[in-house]
Structure 1
Amino acid sequence: MTQILTTHVGSLPRSQDVVDFIFARERGDAFDQAAFDNCMTAAVSETVQKQKDAGVQIVSDGETSKISYATYVKDRYTGFDGDSPRNAPADLKKFPTFLKRLAADGGTPKYARPMCVGEVTSKGQGELQKDIANLKRAMAEHGVSRGFMNAASPGVISLFLQNDHYPTRDAYLAALADAMKEEYETIVASGLDLQLDCPDLALSRHMLFNDLSDDEFLKIAASHIEALNHALQDVPEEKIRIHICWGNYEGPHVCDIPMAKMFDTLMRAKARYVLFETSNPRHGHEWAVFRDRKSDIPDDKVLVPGVVDTTTNFVEHPALVAERLERFVNIVGADRVIAGSDCGFGTFAGFGAVDPDIAYAKLSALAEGAALVR
């Protein structure tokens, strides 16, 4: 019998000590670097232990040291300064009273999003090497054999850190791909799997490209995949995961581009593992896209559907998790399905809709549900 493995998208709730250090760095306040490093090491160890206790088999560092999954690059690469324009997703603009409520309740995280104002080059891999060392140390300490580390895709960087330097959008994407290439290769060389976070392939449709038709947006998305695949040219495909999402926020999501339209783009990415949303009410039905396009799923792709939601504090019943997984097992077989989450539980430091203890309860339900699949 094939066991359904368990994982998640990457980010997990951070402790208040971690958040305080991250925002001290974000604000440019003075802080003790050794104390910062010790705090991150201890927090990653605790995060890995909690994942193991919940039944997660392919673990991450929870993105502990990062301010967010995309804008962390401003701290590790040159060329970023000032602030990028904020643009609320189109679905929230359709419901202005809800958007106002989110803002008033602190439901929209605030953090620096500088513009690209100069050449993007690496400041060195020192911070990344610390993250890798912390995760590998924690895995060894707690007896976990398989882990992954997140990295921003060129496309998602271009979404949040917009271009005010390169002559064209494609030139900016190419520069980002060249700059990020070493980060991707460093992660895989360490023995970890690499996860590329690519909400630009869906979220950006209703956040940055509202003026385009869906077909015009698909051309943009194709250029993002081209840049990403270029950066991954020297990375083995079997070590790569890709995550697509429509925005990790509780909202109407009535402007989300359908998975049916993104399917071909997603399948062209150089990645063995494909992570996507299937739990939230706007995308729960889209498992049928994979059923109907079964013949178009490459034989080496492994599907990692989100079988627990990351925007509500409902804890899914394991039987429901098993039902969701069985749909995909019936499409590609148990050896090509891994149980995942819709998105991250700690996308932004200090911000998350799900209570930290409930986040791990959800991961426990994920593992219990995966064990029910036969």
Structure 2
Amino acid sequence: MSKIEVTHVGSLPRTQKVVDYIFARENGDDYEVAAFDAAMTEAVNDTVRKQVDAGVSIVSDGETSKISYATYVKDRYTGFSGDSPRNAPADLKLYPSFLKRIAESGGTPKYARPMCTGEVRSKGQGELEKDIANLKAAMAANGVERGFMNAASPGVISLFLQNDFYSSREAYLEALAEVMKAEYETIVGAGLDLQLDCPDLALSRHMLFTDLSDEEFLKIAASHIEALNHALQNIDPANVRIHICWGNYEGPHVCDISMDKVFSTLMSARARYVLFETSNPRHAHEWSVFRDRKSEIPEDKILVPGVVDTTTNFVEHPEAVAQRLDRFVDIVGSDRVIAGSDCGFGTFAGFGAVDPEIAYAKLGALAEGAAIAGERA
């Protein structure tokens, strides 16, 4: 019998009060900064409490104050303005009637995605320090010892906030790596684990680089990891988590690049914890990639498979969760497996396919399943 820790990808549902404040800031409306800050502090404490109640042992702030996991950088760094063109994922374009249906039903979030139109420079760590203070206070109040905070990777920023200033994609990535370095180091320096969100390593294949071959795309992905590793050079990998996904949306996903192809790139990141999707029906079979390529998994890596889905309101049975975890325990041992979710539950403020109460019910099932798997290990 062993204990399997429980975590998730990071974002969680925000209250309407929080969403209203975030969009007041987003839209340039008048709001009281002190009231905004107080609302975030209150909401983070509530979010941590709900995680603890659900059985989550490694918690986050739910990305409460952020408009989204990637575009929040436009508020904390200079060089971004205007808006960028939208490009639907290739799989949705193959099924235009479905794409039309989700667009008309409000199934796609509305938020600004400015271009990079000038030099990217930090506006200071003030907003980040508020987020850190809120999370650490909530952890102390709720008796939690371990927490993590999300940050955008250079690659995912380049995916959503595209370059219209630097001479090349490589130059843009280099600039992003340099400015994000301080954010990463501040998070770890505060005693939190750092999570890098990297859907650019998979999602961008069928969203931005559809004209490339898989081999050509893998070269792009490798350059993203190179930039990320540069930004992490002063941080112990033991404090770093990396999350890869193919897009947190319900859809056919028939254009997704396989885990087998991105596996080596993913394993080359300077991060001990590797978070990835295994509940997504298009990738549920890919646990076997980890089995078949076990010798290529560095011995210091800890696997955090997503064993609950974040795009439907089904609440997984704890036994199903346990069986999914069993597969990875059999590969690397229970001490190198943590139970996680496929993606975030609140990737964009005010938008989420899963009802907030059901999101926490899923986390509860996640914790129950982890306990069952731990008993069997």
Q: Deviations over 1:96-118 (max 9, x none)?
A: 00000111001010100000000
- The one-character-per-residue Cα deviations of 1:119-139 (angstroms, maximum 9, x if unpaired) are 000000000000000000000
Structure 2 distance, partners of 1:85, 1:265, is: 28
Distance (whole Å) between structure 2 residues aligned to residue 29 and residue 358 of structure 1: 32
- The aligned runs of 1:355-370 (5 Å cut-off) are 355-370=355-370
Measured in 1, the distance between the counterparts of 2:303 and 2:99 equals 33
Q: Which runs of 5+ in 1 are unaligned?
A: none
Instruction: Kindly indicate whether residue 333 of structure 2 is the aligned counterpart of residue 333 of structure 1.
Output: yes
Q: TM-score, normalised by structure 1?
A: 1.00
Alignment length (residue pairs): 374
Q: Which residue is equivalent to 1:300? A: 300
Post-superposition CA distance 1:155-188 (Å, at most 9, x none):
0000000000000000000000000000000000
User: Which residue of the partner structure matches residue 73 of structure 2?
Assistant: 73
Partners of 1:189 and 1:2 in 2: CA distance: 30
Matched, 1:128 2:128: yes
Q: Which residue of 2 aligns with 1:236?
A: 236
Which secondary structure state, in structure 1, belongs to the residue aligned with residue 275 of structure 2? strand
Matched, 1:251 2:274: no
Alpha-carbon distance between aligned partners in 1 of 2:305 and 2:136, rounded to the nearest angstrom? 26
% identical aligned pairs = 80
Rounded Cα–Cα distance in structure 2 between residues aligned with 1:43 and 1:117: 34
| Paired residues for 1:1-374 under 5 Å | 1-373=1-373, 374=376
Aligned equivalents of 2:313 and 2:260: distance in 1?
A: 28
List structure 1 runs of 4+ shifted beyond 2 angstroms.
Answer: none
Instruction: For residue 333 of structure 1, report the CA deviation from its aligned partner.
Output: 0.2
Pairwise CA distance, 1:2:
2.1
Separation in structure 1 between the aligned mates of residue 352 and residue 65 of structure 2, nearest angstrom: 16
Partner Cα separation in structure 2 for residue 27 and residue 103 of structure 1: 22
Give the partner amino acid of 1:270.
R
C-alpha separation in 2, matches of 1:192 and 1:370:
23
Residue 280 of structure 1 and its aligned partner are, at CA, apart by 1.4
Q: CA RMSD in A?
A: 0.4
Aligned mates of 1:111, 1:314 — CA distance in 2:
27
Q: Distance in 1 between matches of 2:21 and 2:283?
A: 36
Amino acid at match of 1:331: I
Unaligned runs of 5+ in 2: none
User: In structure 2, the residue corresponding to 1:99 is in which secondary structure?
Assistant: helix
Hey, what's the Cα distance between the residues in 2 that align with 1:108 and 1:7? Answer: 26
The AA in structure 1 aligned to 2:99 is: L
Q: Does the residue aligned with 2:40 lie in a helix, a strand or coil? A: helix
Whole-angstrom distance in 2 between the partners of 1:168 and 1:85: 18
Specify the SS of the correspondent of 2:72: helix
C-alpha deviations, 1:34-87, integer Å up to 9, x for none?
A: 000000000000000000000000000000000000000000000000001110
